[in-house]
Amino acid sequence: MKRISFLLLIGFVMVSCQSMSQSNKKQPNCKIAKVTKTEAEWRKMLTSEQFNVTRKAGTERAFTGEYWDNHAEGTYLCRCCGFELFDSKTKFESGTGWPSFWKPINECSVEVGTDTSYGMVRDEVRCHRCDAHLGHVFNDGPRPTGLRYCMNSASLKFVAKK
């Protein structure tokens, strides 16, 4: 009986955390034609690290990626499908060792869902077009949004402004 109450309590906490985190997000009504490929096709076009991060929701080690310290002006595209995701104007020094932004390039470029892996409830960020895992979004970012999109360099492809 004790065990059942405990499980019910855990379930309740998880559901409330999820609804709490969902209620913070306004999900826009985006109509985007999806890009889909087989696992084998993705593997062919990505390095093993890029595949592991984008298609298997992995995380690169902090301070090891290509872009955490990139200060050039330009646009960050999805590594998998080339969709425009972030503008360098919204990149900031988070000190985390991952490229961090305070907002996506437009409201339909990314999709936010709930990730309950590793015993945490986090808002997972994916490319809206191909569902590539990009990273997570947290509420401790700078103004004006207060958001911190904590991204993996392995999920991004930077194109410098000409």
Active-site residue among 78, 80, 130, 150?
Answer: 150
**Nearest one of 91, 85, 79 to 46, comparing CA atoms:** 79
For residue 46, state whether it binds Fe ion (rule: CB under 5 A). no
Is 81 an annotated catalytic residue?
A: no
Nearer to Fe ion, 24 or 36 (CB): 36
User: Per-residue contact track with Fe ion, 111 to 140, x per CB under 5 A?
Assistant: ----------------x-xx-x--------
* 8 Å CB contact between 63 and 150: no
Residue 118, token pair as written in the block: 């590793």
Least Å distance between CB 110 and Fe ion? 9
For residue 78, state whether it binds Fe ion (rule: CB under 5 A). yes
The dihedral formed by the CA atoms of 96, 103, 128 and 79, expressed in degrees to the nearest 10: -50
Identify which range of 81-89, 91-99, 104-112, 142-150 contacts Fe ion by CB under 5 A. Answer: 81-89
For residue 80, state whether it binds Fe ion (rule: CB under 5 A). yes
Q: Return the ∠ at Cα 69 (arms to 57 and 122), rounded to 5°.
A: 30
Residues that bind Fe ion (CB under 5 A): 78, 80-81, 83, 127, 129-130, 132
Active site residues: 150
